[in-house]
């Protein structure tokens, strides 16, 4: 066993800890700044661990913290086994990991296997000549005259190929030209990337979130995209069978460790049915994000459809669902719901009571909106700055940041901040704390079965059951009160979107955009 000591602080060493966990995603640049350079860092995160423990989450996923030229804010990695100085260093990471483990919080790192930075030493060597020992570590091809080798479009727009002056060949990049794709058909790449996992696993990390991991296998013929999808970037459709063997190899690296480490994969294929094969036979990804809920209108029909579909598809014991309502690539929940706090509250009740592991994006628990970023201040090539704005901690400017942060704050930081919301029993933050505490003491909510029940139009009702323990969850997606929701007697409101409804006998009435969790009276 390589890792006993670092886990000594964790009480729960059950094999599938990640099934009952709630994972909190931190965008490190925007979480907390310890040194006053306007960019969040590891010591800043460390200073907020008590906040996270009090919130009640179980694990933290850190978006990339590796050395990076930051063309894609860390998703362009120039060294997989170090820390970018803007965030700290390896010693600071070890301290953070130990302090998190001491509080029972696990740490999951982002792992970016599909591409490196164009300034990674591997790519510098690869591009240096056609004969370089690492030439084949990336995807180089001759073009067709002045045209690229095929018709693939990059996720940030334009061709997925750039011609390199030094050798006249083109290299593949499904994202920015500063993010060349690795060639996973090369055994040296496979080995080197496995080593990067072992580096962090040996240090004691609890797992990884694997960035666009469905892209790593590629048909070496690199066939054109069919004409009907040729204008779309390939990231949403690329689904090559050869990726699965690579995922089994990656899983074997994790399985080599005694205490169970997790890998959750970002697979951005549009149909949930396409996600299922990425679980393999329980020998590929432990979990695959289901992004379906992020793109739904706020209607009971839409949510019922997505939940029924997932329930049908993810029924095998190895295909444990994984839910997301927002992340660093998408607008925040409230912004998607036209600013409605009520809908964002109800969405929180749903996220934290579905069957599967919820991922919660930092700041959602404060009900933040996307920041308004003036054109001149925009930094992200993908236009995603709004949801990446800094977290306001204190009620007074500069809101717990020692100096002006790299992006503007979200709207109303004087009201929407951790300090103010901690003091208000009916705040969004307190709602999340109550929901997380209830989930933690309910086996039915963590691991129970899920079944939808009939409910009046505009509402959603489902049960969670484990042994004798039963909970009902009801939500109203309309702007009017609805009655007759679960008419049977003997239920009590255990949690609700607002405090005043909690603890009451259930009469079957849901207020506009209200959600409740019911327990037997």
Among all residues, which ones are annotated catalytic? 211, 266
Could you tell me the smallest distance in angstroms from the CB atom of residue 384 to ligand GLC?
A: 7
Tell which positions 361-390 bind ligand GLC, by CB under 6 A. Answer: 382
Q: How far is the CB of 64 from ligand GLC (least distance, A)?
A: 9
Q: With respect to ligand GLC, which residue has the nearer C-beta, 48 or 328?
A: 328
Among 27, 61, 75, 278, the residue binding ligand GLC under the rule CB under 6 A is: 75
Which of 5, 218, 14, 13 is CA-nearest to residue 114? 218
Closest approach of ligand GLC to the CB of residue 154, in Å: 10
Would you give the DSSP letter of residue 35?
S
1: helix, strand or coil:
coil
Q: Which of residues 328-347 bind ligand GLC (CB under 6 A)?
A: 328-329
**CA 348 – CA 77 distance, rounded (Å):** 33
> Which residue bears the tokens 């503007």?
408
In the region spanning residues 261 to 290, those forming contacts with ligand GLC, defined by CB under 6 A, are 266
Tell me the C-alpha distance between 440 and 56, whole Å: 8
* Binding residue (CB under 6 A) for ligand GLC from 41, 58, 72, 233: 72
Task: By CB under 6 A, name the one of 17, 93, 175, 450 that touches ligand GLC.
Answer: 175
Using CA atoms, how far apart are residues 503 and 493, in angstroms rounded to an integer?
A: 5
Contact 112, 77 (CB under 8 A): yes
* CA-to-CA separations, 484 to 42, 489, 505, in angstroms, rounded: 50, 11, 14
Give Cβ neighbours of residue 163 (< 8 Å, ≥ 6 apart): 143, 148, 169, 170
Residue number with CB closer to ligand GLC (154 or 459): 154
Kindly report the number of other CB atoms within 10 A of residue 10's CB atom: 17
DSSP H stretches of helix in 83-218: 90-102, 121-128, 187-203
Angle at 46 between CA 91 and CA 116, to 5 degrees: 60
Query: With respect to ligand GLC, which residue has the nearer C-beta, 171 or 432?
Result: 171
Among 206, 211, 364, 486, binds ligand GLC (CB under 6 A): 211
Binding residue (CB under 6 A) for ligand GLC from 26, 160, 190, 212: 212
Q: Which residue is nearest to ligand GLC (CB)?
A: 75
Residues 105-144 that bind ligand GLC (CB under 6 A): 112
Q: Answer yes or no whether residue 233 interacts with ligand GLC by CB under 6 A.
A: no
Cβ 171 to ligand GLC, closest distance in Å?
16
Binding site for ligand GLC (CB under 6 A): 72, 75, 112, 175, 211-212, 266, 328-329, 382
């Amino acid at each position: 066993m390589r890792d006993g000591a670092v886990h000594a602080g964790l009480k729960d060493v059950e094999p599938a800890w990640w099934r009952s966990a709630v994972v909190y995603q931190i965008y490190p640049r925007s979480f907390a700044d310890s040194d006053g350079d306007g960019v969040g860092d590891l010591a800043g995160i460390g200073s907020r661990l008590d906040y996270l423990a009090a919130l009640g989450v179980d694990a933290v996923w850190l978006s990339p913290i590796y050395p990076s030229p930051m063309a894609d804010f860390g998703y362009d990695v120039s060294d997989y086994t170090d820390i970018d100085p803007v965030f700290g260093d390896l010693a600071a990471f070890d301290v953070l990991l130990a302090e998190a483990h001491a509080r029972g919080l696990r740490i999951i790192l982002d792992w970016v296997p599909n591409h490196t930075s164009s300034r990674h030493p591997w790519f510098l060597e690869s591009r240096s000549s056609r004969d370089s020992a690492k030439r084949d570590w990336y995807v180089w091809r001759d073009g067709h005259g002045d045209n690229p080798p095929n018709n693939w479009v990059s996720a940030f727009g334009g061709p997925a190929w750039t011609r390199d002056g030094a050798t006249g060949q083109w290299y593949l990049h499904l994202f920015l030209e500063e993010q060349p794709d690795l060639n996973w058909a090369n055994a040296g790449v496979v080995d080197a990337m496995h080593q990067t996992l072992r580096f962090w696993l040996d240090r004691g990390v609890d797992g990884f979130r694997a960035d666009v991991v469905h892209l790593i296998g590629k048909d070496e013929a690199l066939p054109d995209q069919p004409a009907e999808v040729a204008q779309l970037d390939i990231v949403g459709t690329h689904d090559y069978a050869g990726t699965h063997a690579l995922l089994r190899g990656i899983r074997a690296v994790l399985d080599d460790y005694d205490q169970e480490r997790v890998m959750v994969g970002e697979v951005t294929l549009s149909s949930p049915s396409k996600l299922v094969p990425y679980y393999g036979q329980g020998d590929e990804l432990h979990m695959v994000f289901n992004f379906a809920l992020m793109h739904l209108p706020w209607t009971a029909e839409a949510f019922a459809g997505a939940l029924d579909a997932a329930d049908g598809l993810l029924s095998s014991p190895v295909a444990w669902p994984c839910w997301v309502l927002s992340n660093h690539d998408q607008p925040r929940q409230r912004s998607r719901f036209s600013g409605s706090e009520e809908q964002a509250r109800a969405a929180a009740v749903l996220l934290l009571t579905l069957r599967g592991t919820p991922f919660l994006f930092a700041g959602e628990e404060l009900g933040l909106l996307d920041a308004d970023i003036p054109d001149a201040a925009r930094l992200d090539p993908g236009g995603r700055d709004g949801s990446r704005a800094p977290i306001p901690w204190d009620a007074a400017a500069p809101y717990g940041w020692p100096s002006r942060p790299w992006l503007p704050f979200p709207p109303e930081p004087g009201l929407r901040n951790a300090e103010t919301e901690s003091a208000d029993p009916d705040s969004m933050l307190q709602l999340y704390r109550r929901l997380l505490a209830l989930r933690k003491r309910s086996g039915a909510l963590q691991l129970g079965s899920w079944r939808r029940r009939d409910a009046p139009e505009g509402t959603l009702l489902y049960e969670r059951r484990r042994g004798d323990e039963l909970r009902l969850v009801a939500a109203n997606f309309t702007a009017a009160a609805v009655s007759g929701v679960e008419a049977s007697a003997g239920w009590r409101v255990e949690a609700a979107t607002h405090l005043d409804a909690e603890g009451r006998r259930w009469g079957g009435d849901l207020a506009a955009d209200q959600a409740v969790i019911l327990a037997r009276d």
